Amino acid sequence: MAFALLPLCFSCGDDSSGGAGDTGASPPCATDSALGLARCVEGNRYQEDLVFIAQVRTPGNAHWQAVQNLCAERFSSFGFTVERYDYGTGVNVIGVKEGAAEPESRVLVGAHYDHIPSCAGADDNATGVAATLEAARVLAMQDFPRTLVVACWDEEELGLIGSTAYAERATAASEEILAYYNFEMVGFVDENPGAQSFPAGFELLFPEAARAVDAREGRGDFLAVIADETASEAVSLLERHGMSLGLPVISIVVPTSLVSNPAIGDLRRSDHAPFWDRGYPAMMLTDTSEFRYDAYHCTTGPDSVDALNQDFSTRVVQTTVAAAAESLGL
């Protein structure tokens, strides 16, 4: 089905925004429903954080430390119990808000905050960190039956090291993780026909998703949700709320038999993969990186904020907030 990005309000409680099918004013920010919480997302807050984060932040440098501090300070200000998890070579920032009825059941939302040298990494992955901070702020407005965990992972660019350390610790502690929503590059849109490409062999392994892109004339204007089979419920929530909020969502569900297969290596290149490998439901929310965006890793030019689409990113955060809220038991 074709979607269009619709006018969006960036202020909590502003009545001017509309979701797909709206004919009048949309409901204001409210904490008693998933879509009500989604309306609490403020695009201007997201954008301010994006601009701050999008500077060179290789592990150990001053801005890497500043972004680590930002994650810790924000999570604390939102009421989370904060841990700077030093796993030996890097530091993950973890925020936990205990569930009221089923605290043993956890839902995670996160993104990696490190990047490569000599590149500002606006899309990769300042967008993901800014999205995590805004999602954490909004989700903290409500008390949920289940426990919410928010995370800024370190050393993703060096081989998913930070998220692997957490997933290993969670496995050792027999944590029950119901879903992990991983923001990985959620800011770039190219509406030109043919702008979207695929990894080699993608059309053979995932023909339905390939047809969905072809039906959009190959435009790079959708959110890709890449999930394992155990995350199917969360995927359905993202699809449904994306429809309500005017966000195009195309899902790629990887069969359990393929999650560790080198043939899908391009679908494993972020912090959801360590959770897959330990049997946890997880998904990557992405604009598809270099398969749409030539400036990925500053290959053809700067990965800068001015190339990105705030409206699209804000809808991604809204959609994720709504889906995560339901995963948390709202």
**What would the pLDDT profile of 110-123 be if each residue is shown by its tens digit?**
999 999 999 999 99
Q: State yes or no: pLDDT of 275 exceeds 50.
A: yes
**In a domain? residue 21:** no
Question: Band of the pLDDT at 26, cuts 50, 70, 90?
Answer: low
**In a domain? residue 25:** no
Strand 282-286: give its sheet, edge to edge: 81-86, 91-97, 146-153, 102-112, 176-183, 282-286, 223-228, 249-254
Structural domains counted in the chain: 1
**In a domain? residue 5:** no
Tokens at residue 187, please? 């800011």
Is the distance from CB of 251 to CB of 196 less than 8 angstroms?
no
State residue 15's pLDDT score: 34
Tokens at residue 270, please? 């972020």
pTM: 0.92
What dihedral angle (degrees, nearest 10) is formed by the CA atoms of 273, 111, 153, 65?
A: 150
* Strand 282-286, strand 102-112: pairing: unpaired
CATH of the domain at 170: 3.40.630.10
226-254 average pLDDT score = 97
**In a domain? residue 133:** yes
Burial class (CB in 10 A: 0-12, 13-18, 19+), 81: exposed
Q: State yes or no: pLDDT of 125 exceeds 60.
A: yes
State residue 27's pLDDT score: 73
Q: State yes or no: pLDDT of 182 exceeds 60.
A: yes
**In a domain? residue 17:** no
More confident residue, 310 or 27: 310
Q: State yes or no: pLDDT of 241 exceeds 50.
A: yes
Tokens at residue 141, please? 């407005």
State residue 25's pLDDT score: 60
pLDDT in tens, 188-239: 999 999 999 999 999 999 999 999 999 999 999 999 999 999 999 999 999 9
**In a domain? residue 13:** no
Q: State yes or no: pLDDT of 11 exceeds 60.
A: no
Q: State yes or no: pLDDT of 23 exceeds 70.
A: no
160-175 average pLDDT score = 98
State residue 40's pLDDT score: 98
Question: Which DSSP letter does residue 27 get?
Answer: P
> HEC profile for 95-111?
EEECCCCEEEEEEEEEE
pLDDT in tens, 60-106: 999 999 999 999 999 999 999 999 999 999 999 999 999 999 999 99
**In a domain? residue 105:** yes
Q: Which domain, by its residues, includes 51?
A: 34-327
Distance CA 190, CA 42 (A): 23
Mean pLDDT of the chain: 93
Residue recorded with tokens 């089905």: 1
**In a domain? residue 9:** no
State residue 3's pLDDT score: 32
State residue 37's pLDDT score: 97
State residue 28's pLDDT score: 87
More confident residue, 3 or 201: 201
Give the Å distances, CA to CA, from 169 to 83, 224, 237, 256. 14, 28, 28, 22
Is the distance from CB of 2 to CB of 215 less than 8 angstroms?
yes
Q: State yes or no: pLDDT of 287 exceeds 80.
A: yes
